[in-house]
Structure 1
Amino acid sequence: MISSLTGQVTHVGLDNLMIDVNGFGMFVNIPGRTAAALRVGEQRTILTTMIVREDSMTLYGFLDSAEREVFDLMLTVSGIGPRIALAVVSALTPAEVSQAVAVGDDKAFTKVPGIGPKGARRVVLELAGKLVLADSDTSDQLPLSHEVAWKPQVLDALMGLGWTEKDSLAAVDSFIKENPAAENLSVAQALKSVLATLGSQHSNTRH
Protein backbone atom coordinates (compact mmCIF):
# COMPACT_ATOMS: atom_id res chain seq x y z
CA MET A 1 0.00 0.00 0.00
CA ILE A 2 1.44 3.39 -1.00
CA SER A 3 1.23 5.81 1.95
CA SER A 4 3.38 8.67 0.62
CA LEU A 5 5.20 9.92 -2.47
CA THR A 6 8.25 12.17 -2.61
CA GLY A 7 9.41 13.73 -5.85
CA GLN A 8 9.10 16.62 -8.28
CA VAL A 9 5.66 17.96 -9.09
CA THR A 10 5.34 17.92 -12.88
CA HIS A 11 1.67 18.89 -13.27
CA VAL A 12 -1.03 20.46 -11.10
CA GLY A 13 -4.69 20.42 -12.12
CA LEU A 14 -7.79 21.62 -10.30
CA ASP A 15 -8.11 18.34 -8.43
CA ASN A 16 -5.10 16.24 -9.41
CA LEU A 17 -1.34 16.26 -9.78
CA MET A 18 1.48 14.37 -11.42
CA ILE A 19 4.57 13.75 -9.35
CA ASP A 20 7.81 12.24 -10.69
CA VAL A 21 9.15 9.66 -8.25
CA ASN A 22 12.51 8.34 -9.44
CA GLY A 23 11.37 8.45 -13.06
CA PHE A 24 7.87 7.14 -12.43
CA GLY A 25 5.04 9.59 -13.07
CA MET A 26 2.36 9.09 -10.43
CA PHE A 27 -1.16 10.48 -10.93
CA VAL A 28 -2.81 11.55 -7.68
CA ASN A 29 -6.29 12.93 -6.99
CA ILE A 30 -6.10 15.84 -4.54
CA PRO A 31 -8.40 18.36 -2.81
CA GLY A 32 -8.67 21.81 -4.36
CA ARG A 33 -7.05 23.23 -1.21
CA THR A 34 -3.97 21.09 -1.85
CA ALA A 35 -3.83 21.99 -5.54
CA ALA A 36 -3.75 25.69 -4.67
CA ALA A 37 -0.67 25.16 -2.49
CA LEU A 38 1.41 23.30 -5.09
CA ARG A 39 3.70 24.59 -7.82
CA VAL A 40 5.10 22.74 -10.85
CA GLY A 41 8.81 22.02 -10.46
CA GLU A 42 8.97 21.91 -6.68
CA GLN A 43 9.98 18.90 -4.58
CA ARG A 44 7.17 17.69 -2.40
CA THR A 45 6.13 14.84 -0.14
CA ILE A 46 2.49 13.91 -0.63
CA LEU A 47 0.73 11.72 1.93
CA THR A 48 -1.55 9.26 0.17
CA THR A 49 -4.42 6.85 0.57
CA MET A 50 -4.72 4.11 -2.03
CA ILE A 51 -8.13 2.72 -2.89
CA VAL A 52 -8.02 -0.62 -4.70
CA ARG A 53 -10.99 -1.92 -6.66
CA GLU A 54 -11.41 -4.73 -9.14
CA ASP A 55 -10.74 -2.50 -12.13
CA SER A 56 -8.56 0.26 -10.66
CA MET A 57 -5.97 1.42 -8.14
CA THR A 58 -6.44 5.09 -7.31
CA LEU A 59 -4.27 7.39 -5.21
CA TYR A 60 -5.61 10.32 -3.19
CA GLY A 61 -3.07 12.80 -1.88
CA PHE A 62 -2.81 15.34 0.94
CA LEU A 63 -0.27 17.76 2.34
CA ASP A 64 -0.76 16.81 5.99
CA SER A 65 -1.93 13.91 8.12
CA ALA A 66 -5.02 15.74 9.41
CA GLU A 67 -6.48 16.11 5.90
CA ARG A 68 -5.78 12.46 5.15
CA GLU A 69 -7.39 11.38 8.42
CA VAL A 70 -10.55 13.34 7.61
CA PHE A 71 -10.66 11.75 4.15
CA ASP A 72 -10.16 8.23 5.52
CA LEU A 73 -12.81 8.70 8.20
CA MET A 74 -15.31 10.15 5.74
CA LEU A 75 -15.04 6.90 3.80
CA THR A 76 -16.37 5.05 6.86
CA VAL A 77 -19.64 6.99 6.70
CA SER A 78 -22.52 5.21 4.99
CA GLY A 79 -23.06 6.48 1.46
CA ILE A 80 -19.82 8.50 1.27
CA GLY A 81 -17.37 7.56 -1.47
CA PRO A 82 -13.92 8.94 -2.41
CA ARG A 83 -15.32 11.76 -4.58
CA ILE A 84 -17.45 13.23 -1.80
CA ALA A 85 -14.80 12.57 0.86
CA LEU A 86 -12.33 14.56 -1.25
CA ALA A 87 -14.91 17.33 -1.65
CA VAL A 88 -15.21 17.54 2.15
CA VAL A 89 -11.46 18.08 2.50
CA SER A 90 -11.64 20.71 -0.26
CA ALA A 91 -14.52 22.61 1.34
CA LEU A 92 -13.65 22.35 5.04
CA THR A 93 -10.41 22.44 6.99
CA PRO A 94 -9.73 19.56 9.41
CA ALA A 95 -10.40 21.96 12.29
CA GLU A 96 -13.77 22.94 10.79
CA VAL A 97 -14.73 19.28 10.35
CA SER A 98 -13.71 18.51 13.92
CA GLN A 99 -15.64 21.48 15.28
CA ALA A 100 -18.76 20.70 13.23
CA VAL A 101 -18.89 17.09 14.40
CA ALA A 102 -18.13 18.08 18.00
CA VAL A 103 -21.08 20.48 18.26
CA GLY A 104 -23.44 18.54 16.01
CA ASP A 105 -23.40 21.20 13.29
CA ASP A 106 -24.63 19.12 10.35
CA LYS A 107 -25.34 22.26 8.31
CA ALA A 108 -21.60 22.73 7.85
CA PHE A 109 -21.50 19.60 5.71
CA THR A 110 -24.36 20.71 3.45
CA LYS A 111 -21.85 23.18 1.97
CA VAL A 112 -20.13 20.20 0.37
CA PRO A 113 -21.36 19.29 -3.14
CA GLY A 114 -23.08 15.91 -3.00
CA ILE A 115 -24.10 16.04 0.67
CA GLY A 116 -27.70 16.89 1.48
CA PRO A 117 -29.35 17.46 4.88
CA LYS A 118 -29.84 13.75 5.62
CA GLY A 119 -26.30 12.89 4.54
CA ALA A 120 -24.90 15.72 6.66
CA ARG A 121 -26.73 14.47 9.75
CA ARG A 122 -25.42 10.96 9.06
CA VAL A 123 -21.85 12.30 8.87
CA VAL A 124 -22.19 13.97 12.28
CA LEU A 125 -23.76 10.93 13.91
CA GLU A 126 -21.33 8.36 12.49
CA LEU A 127 -18.16 10.38 13.12
CA ALA A 128 -19.04 11.35 16.69
CA GLY A 129 -16.16 10.34 18.95
CA LYS A 130 -13.98 9.04 16.10
CA LEU A 131 -12.14 12.11 14.90
CA VAL A 132 -8.91 12.87 16.77
CA LEU A 133 -6.76 15.19 14.71
CA ALA A 134 -3.07 15.53 15.52
CA ASP A 135 -1.30 17.96 13.24
CA SER A 136 1.26 20.54 14.33
CA ASP A 137 -0.10 23.17 11.95
CA THR A 138 -3.67 23.06 13.28
CA SER A 139 -3.35 23.97 16.93
CA ASP A 140 -6.83 25.50 17.01
CA GLN A 141 -8.65 22.29 16.20
CA LEU A 142 -10.82 20.52 18.77
CA PRO A 143 -10.12 16.78 19.17
CA LEU A 144 -13.37 14.90 19.52
CA SER A 145 -11.89 12.60 22.12
CA HIS A 146 -12.49 15.47 24.58
CA GLU A 147 -16.09 16.01 23.51
CA VAL A 148 -19.22 14.35 24.88
CA ALA A 149 -19.85 11.38 22.60
CA TRP A 150 -23.64 11.30 23.01
CA LYS A 151 -24.22 14.94 22.05
CA PRO A 152 -25.04 14.48 18.31
CA GLN A 153 -27.44 11.60 19.01
CA VAL A 154 -29.27 13.53 21.72
CA LEU A 155 -29.53 16.64 19.52
CA ASP A 156 -30.97 14.53 16.71
CA ALA A 157 -33.49 12.93 19.08
CA LEU A 158 -34.59 16.27 20.53
CA MET A 159 -35.19 17.77 17.10
CA GLY A 160 -37.07 14.62 16.15
CA LEU A 161 -39.33 15.26 19.12
CA GLY A 162 -40.12 18.74 17.86
CA TRP A 163 -37.63 20.98 19.65
CA THR A 164 -35.83 23.55 17.49
CA GLU A 165 -32.13 23.13 16.74
CA LYS A 166 -31.37 26.34 18.66
CA ASP A 167 -33.26 25.24 21.79
CA SER A 168 -31.87 21.71 21.60
CA LEU A 169 -28.28 22.89 21.32
CA ALA A 170 -28.72 25.41 24.13
CA ALA A 171 -30.25 22.81 26.44
CA VAL A 172 -27.57 20.20 25.75
CA ASP A 173 -24.68 22.68 26.16
CA SER A 174 -26.19 24.01 29.39
CA PHE A 175 -26.65 20.50 30.78
CA ILE A 176 -23.05 19.53 29.94
CA LYS A 177 -21.70 22.73 31.50
CA GLU A 178 -23.64 22.22 34.73
CA ASN A 179 -22.94 18.49 35.04
CA PRO A 180 -19.21 17.56 35.05
CA ALA A 181 -20.03 13.84 34.89
CA ALA A 182 -22.31 14.25 31.85
CA GLU A 183 -19.81 12.62 29.51
CA ASN A 184 -20.19 9.34 31.39
CA LEU A 185 -23.92 9.07 30.69
CA SER A 186 -25.41 6.80 28.07
CA VAL A 187 -27.39 8.33 25.21
CA ALA A 188 -30.68 7.28 26.87
CA GLN A 189 -29.69 8.72 30.25
CA ALA A 190 -28.51 11.99 28.70
CA LEU A 191 -31.67 12.35 26.62
CA LYS A 192 -33.88 11.77 29.68
CA SER A 193 -31.93 14.35 31.71
CA VAL A 194 -31.95 17.01 28.98
CA LEU A 195 -35.67 16.45 28.35
CA ALA A 196 -36.30 16.99 32.06
CA THR A 197 -34.39 20.26 31.84
CA LEU A 198 -36.34 21.38 28.80
CA GLY A 199 -39.62 20.40 30.46
CA SER A 200 -38.72 22.42 33.54
CA GLN A 201 -37.83 25.45 31.44
CA HIS A 202 -41.06 25.16 29.48
CA SER A 203 -43.07 24.92 32.70
CA ASN A 204 -41.36 28.02 34.12
CA THR A 205 -42.11 30.09 31.01
CA ARG A 206 -45.81 29.26 31.38
CA HIS A 207 -45.83 30.80 34.84
Structure 2
Amino acid sequence: MIDYLNGKLVHKDPTHVIIDVQGIGYHVKISLQTYTEIKDEEQIKLLTYLHIKEDGHTLFGFKHEAEKRLFLLLLSINGVGPSTGLMILSSLSSTEIEQAILAGDVATIQHVKGIGAKTAQRIILELKDKVGKIGSDVPGEPIGFLKSNNKIREEALKALVTLGFPKTTAEKNIATVLKKTTKEISLEDLIKASLKTS
Protein backbone atom coordinates (compact mmCIF):
# COMPACT_ATOMS: atom_id res chain seq x y z
CA MET A 1 0.00 0.00 0.00
CA ILE A 2 1.34 3.44 -0.92
CA ASP A 3 0.44 5.68 2.02
CA TYR A 4 1.90 8.93 0.69
CA LEU A 5 4.11 10.38 -2.02
CA ASN A 6 6.75 13.03 -1.42
CA GLY A 7 8.44 14.45 -4.49
CA LYS A 8 8.62 17.09 -7.18
CA LEU A 9 5.36 18.39 -8.66
CA VAL A 10 5.86 17.95 -12.40
CA HIS A 11 2.32 18.63 -13.64
CA LYS A 12 -0.82 20.03 -12.02
CA ASP A 13 -4.34 19.86 -13.38
CA PRO A 14 -7.71 20.32 -11.57
CA THR A 15 -8.26 16.54 -11.77
CA HIS A 16 -4.76 15.08 -11.40
CA VAL A 17 -1.09 15.72 -10.67
CA ILE A 18 2.13 14.02 -11.70
CA ILE A 19 4.69 13.68 -8.93
CA ASP A 20 8.31 12.74 -9.63
CA VAL A 21 9.63 10.57 -6.81
CA GLN A 22 13.29 9.72 -7.46
CA GLY A 23 12.84 9.56 -11.22
CA ILE A 24 9.48 7.77 -11.24
CA GLY A 25 6.44 9.83 -12.30
CA TYR A 26 3.26 8.97 -10.39
CA HIS A 27 -0.09 9.96 -11.92
CA VAL A 28 -2.38 10.82 -8.99
CA LYS A 29 -6.07 11.72 -9.26
CA ILE A 30 -7.06 14.60 -6.98
CA SER A 31 -10.16 16.52 -5.94
CA LEU A 32 -10.72 20.21 -6.49
CA GLN A 33 -10.09 20.70 -2.74
CA THR A 34 -6.56 19.31 -3.05
CA TYR A 35 -5.94 21.22 -6.30
CA THR A 36 -6.81 24.47 -4.49
CA GLU A 37 -4.52 23.61 -1.57
CA ILE A 38 -1.50 22.70 -3.69
CA LYS A 39 -1.06 26.15 -5.26
CA ASP A 40 2.30 26.14 -7.10
CA GLU A 41 4.43 24.10 -4.72
CA GLU A 42 7.56 22.60 -6.25
CA GLN A 43 8.00 19.89 -3.60
CA ILE A 44 4.79 18.20 -2.64
CA LYS A 45 3.57 15.59 -0.21
CA LEU A 46 0.22 13.95 -0.85
CA LEU A 47 -1.48 11.29 1.25
CA THR A 48 -2.61 8.54 -1.11
CA TYR A 49 -5.10 5.74 -1.56
CA LEU A 50 -4.34 2.99 -4.09
CA HIS A 51 -7.45 1.56 -5.77
CA ILE A 52 -6.83 -1.82 -7.38
CA LYS A 53 -9.15 -3.49 -9.84
CA GLU A 54 -8.75 -5.98 -12.70
CA ASP A 55 -8.05 -3.43 -15.42
CA GLY A 56 -5.66 -1.18 -13.51
CA HIS A 57 -4.27 0.50 -10.42
CA THR A 58 -5.31 4.10 -9.69
CA LEU A 59 -3.73 6.42 -7.13
CA PHE A 60 -5.87 9.06 -5.42
CA GLY A 61 -4.15 11.90 -3.57
CA PHE A 62 -5.15 14.20 -0.73
CA LYS A 63 -3.45 17.23 0.78
CA HIS A 64 -5.05 16.75 4.22
CA GLU A 65 -5.75 13.72 6.40
CA ALA A 66 -9.38 14.83 6.99
CA GLU A 67 -10.13 14.75 3.25
CA LYS A 68 -8.57 11.29 2.88
CA ARG A 69 -10.57 9.96 5.85
CA LEU A 70 -13.78 11.39 4.40
CA PHE A 71 -12.97 9.81 1.00
CA LEU A 72 -12.45 6.39 2.65
CA LEU A 73 -15.71 6.77 4.57
CA LEU A 74 -17.53 7.56 1.31
CA LEU A 75 -16.01 4.45 -0.30
CA SER A 76 -17.48 2.32 2.50
CA ILE A 77 -20.96 3.20 1.18
CA ASN A 78 -22.49 0.70 -1.23
CA GLY A 79 -22.81 2.42 -4.62
CA VAL A 80 -20.02 4.97 -4.05
CA GLY A 81 -16.83 4.19 -5.96
CA PRO A 82 -13.59 6.18 -6.06
CA SER A 83 -14.69 8.35 -9.00
CA THR A 84 -17.97 9.23 -7.28
CA GLY A 85 -16.13 9.89 -4.01
CA LEU A 86 -13.78 12.25 -5.82
CA MET A 87 -16.75 13.94 -7.53
CA ILE A 88 -18.36 14.56 -4.12
CA LEU A 89 -15.10 16.01 -2.74
CA SER A 90 -14.77 18.24 -5.82
CA SER A 91 -18.35 19.49 -5.70
CA LEU A 92 -18.48 20.23 -1.96
CA SER A 93 -15.85 21.08 0.64
CA SER A 94 -15.18 18.53 3.41
CA THR A 95 -16.97 20.85 5.85
CA GLU A 96 -20.03 21.14 3.58
CA ILE A 97 -20.20 17.34 3.21
CA GLU A 98 -19.92 16.80 6.96
CA GLN A 99 -22.55 19.47 7.71
CA ALA A 100 -24.93 17.98 5.12
CA ILE A 101 -24.49 14.49 6.62
CA LEU A 102 -24.97 15.69 10.20
CA ALA A 103 -28.01 17.80 9.24
CA GLY A 104 -29.54 15.00 7.16
CA ASP A 105 -29.50 17.31 4.14
CA VAL A 106 -30.25 14.85 1.30
CA ALA A 107 -30.75 17.64 -1.29
CA THR A 108 -27.20 19.00 -0.95
CA ILE A 109 -25.58 15.58 -1.40
CA GLN A 110 -28.00 14.60 -4.16
CA HIS A 111 -27.00 17.75 -6.07
CA VAL A 112 -23.64 16.10 -6.88
CA LYS A 113 -23.52 14.56 -10.37
CA GLY A 114 -24.11 10.80 -10.22
CA ILE A 115 -25.70 10.77 -6.74
CA GLY A 116 -29.33 9.71 -6.59
CA ALA A 117 -31.75 10.10 -3.68
CA LYS A 118 -31.17 6.56 -2.37
CA THR A 119 -27.38 6.90 -2.39
CA ALA A 120 -27.60 10.32 -0.72
CA GLN A 121 -29.85 8.85 2.00
CA ARG A 122 -27.48 5.89 2.44
CA ILE A 123 -24.49 8.25 2.82
CA ILE A 124 -26.31 10.22 5.53
CA LEU A 125 -27.65 7.16 7.34
CA GLU A 126 -24.35 5.24 7.39
CA LEU A 127 -21.96 8.14 8.04
CA LYS A 128 -23.93 10.28 10.50
CA ASP A 129 -22.25 8.64 13.51
CA LYS A 130 -18.80 8.62 11.89
CA VAL A 131 -18.26 12.12 10.44
CA GLY A 132 -18.47 13.95 13.75
CA LYS A 133 -15.42 11.97 14.84
CA ILE A 134 -13.30 13.06 11.86
CA GLY A 135 -12.39 16.49 13.18
CA SER A 136 -11.43 18.86 10.41
CA ASP A 137 -7.78 19.75 9.98
CA VAL A 138 -8.49 21.61 6.78
CA PRO A 139 -7.74 25.33 7.05
CA GLY A 140 -10.18 27.95 5.80
CA GLU A 141 -10.73 27.63 2.09
CA PRO A 142 -8.24 29.78 0.21
CA ILE A 143 -9.27 32.23 -2.43
CA GLY A 144 -8.08 31.11 -5.83
CA PHE A 145 -6.19 33.18 -8.36
CA LEU A 146 -8.55 35.62 -10.04
CA LYS A 147 -8.38 35.56 -13.80
CA SER A 148 -10.87 35.86 -16.61
CA ASN A 149 -9.67 34.54 -19.91
CA ASN A 150 -10.15 31.69 -22.35
CA LYS A 151 -7.43 29.63 -20.66
CA ILE A 152 -9.59 29.32 -17.53
CA ARG A 153 -12.62 28.33 -19.60
CA GLU A 154 -10.54 25.66 -21.41
CA GLU A 155 -9.03 24.31 -18.16
CA ALA A 156 -12.49 24.14 -16.55
CA LEU A 157 -13.91 22.36 -19.60
CA LYS A 158 -11.05 19.83 -19.58
CA ALA A 159 -11.58 19.17 -15.85
CA LEU A 160 -15.35 18.66 -16.20
CA VAL A 161 -14.90 16.29 -19.16
CA THR A 162 -12.30 14.32 -17.14
CA LEU A 163 -14.80 14.11 -14.27
CA GLY A 164 -17.29 12.47 -16.63
CA PHE A 165 -19.42 15.32 -17.99
CA PRO A 166 -20.33 15.23 -21.69
CA LYS A 167 -18.48 18.08 -23.46
CA THR A 168 -21.67 19.88 -24.52
CA THR A 169 -23.10 19.76 -20.97
CA ALA A 170 -19.82 21.00 -19.53
CA GLU A 171 -19.69 23.90 -22.01
CA LYS A 172 -23.30 24.82 -21.20
CA ASN A 173 -22.66 24.71 -17.43
CA ILE A 174 -19.55 26.89 -17.75
CA ALA A 175 -21.42 29.41 -19.91
CA THR A 176 -24.28 29.53 -17.37
CA VAL A 177 -21.88 30.20 -14.50
CA LEU A 178 -19.98 32.88 -16.42
CA LYS A 179 -23.24 34.66 -17.33
CA LYS A 180 -24.25 34.82 -13.66
CA THR A 181 -20.80 35.97 -12.48
CA THR A 182 -20.34 39.72 -12.35
CA LYS A 183 -16.77 39.73 -11.00
CA GLU A 184 -13.67 37.80 -12.01
CA ILE A 185 -13.75 34.11 -11.13
CA SER A 186 -10.95 31.68 -10.29
CA LEU A 187 -10.58 28.33 -12.04
CA GLU A 188 -11.48 26.43 -8.86
CA ASP A 189 -14.65 28.48 -8.31
CA LEU A 190 -15.68 28.11 -11.95
CA ILE A 191 -15.32 24.31 -11.82
CA LYS A 192 -17.11 24.09 -8.46
CA ALA A 193 -20.02 26.24 -9.65
CA SER A 194 -20.23 24.30 -12.93
CA LEU A 195 -20.39 20.99 -11.03
CA LYS A 196 -23.39 22.32 -9.11
CA THR A 197 -25.17 23.62 -12.22
CA SER A 198 -27.70 21.22 -13.66
SS of the residue 1:25 aligns to: strand
Q: Render the CA deviation track for 1:145-203: whole Å, top value 9, x for unaligned.
A: xxxxxxxxxxxxxxxxxxxxxxxxxxxxxxxxxxxxxxxxxxxxxxxxxxxxxxxxxxx
Structure 1 equivalent of residue 73 of structure 2: 73
**CA distance in 2: counterparts of 1:122 and 1:31, whole angstroms:** 22
Report what 1:137 is aligned to: 138
CA distance 1:40–1:95, shift in 2 (3 Å):
closer
Q: Write the distance in 1 (CA, Å) between the matches of 2:119 and 2:88.
A: 12
The corresponding residue for 1:53 is: 53
Q: What secondary structure is seen at the aligned counterpart in 2 of 1:83?
A: helix
Gaps of 5+ in 2: 141-198
**Structure 1: which amino acid aligns with 2:71?**
F
What corresponds to 1:36 in structure 2? 36
Between the aligned partners of 1:83 and 1:41, the Cα distance in structure 2 is 25
Provide the residue aligned with 2:117 in structure 1. Answer: 117
| Separation in structure 2 between the aligned mates of residue 42 and residue 74 of structure 1, nearest angstrom | 30
Task: Provide the residue aligned with 2:150 in structure 1.
Answer: none
Distance 2:35 2:137 in 1: 21
CA deviations 1:85-117 (Å, max 9, x no partner) are 001111122221111111111111022111122
Contact 1:66 1:134 in 2 (8 A): yes
Distance 2:66 2:81 in 1: 18
Structure 2 counterpart of 1:64, which letter? H
Taking the aligned partners of 1:50 and 1:36, their CA distance within structure 2 comes to: 22
Q: Report the Cα offset of residue 17 of structure 1.
A: 0.6
Q: Which amino acid aligns with 1:136?
A: D
Shift of the 79–136 alpha-carbon distance from structure 1 to 2, 3 Å rule, reads closer
Q: Could you tell me the percent identity over the aligned residues?
A: 36
Distance 2:135 2:42 in 1: 26
Report the CA distance between 1:138 and its aligned residue: 5.0
- Determine the C-alpha separation between the residues in 2 that align with 1:9 and 1:30: 13
- Is residue 66–residue 137 contact of structure 2 (8 Å, CA) maintained in 1? no
Amino acid aligned to 1:137: V
What CA deviation, in whole Å up to 9, does each residue of 1:38-60 have, x standing for no partner? 35561110011111112311100
Distance 1:95 1:29 in 2: 21
Correspondence for 1:24: 24
Query: Is 1:96 matched up with 2:108?
Result: no
Aligned-residue Cα RMSD (Å) equals: 1.7
- Identify the structure with bigger relative contact order (alpha carbons < 8 Å, sequence gap 6+): 2
SS in 1 for 2:129: coil
Distance in structure 2 (CA, Å) of the matches to 1:92 and 1:66: 14
TM-score w.r.t. length of structure 2: 0.65
Alpha carbons of structure 1 residues 18 and 107: separation in structure 2 relative to 1, 3 Å: same
1:176-191 alignment, distance < 5 Å: none
- Is the contact made by 1:18 and 1:28 (CA closer than 8 Å) also made in structure 2? yes
Matched, 1:15 2:11: no
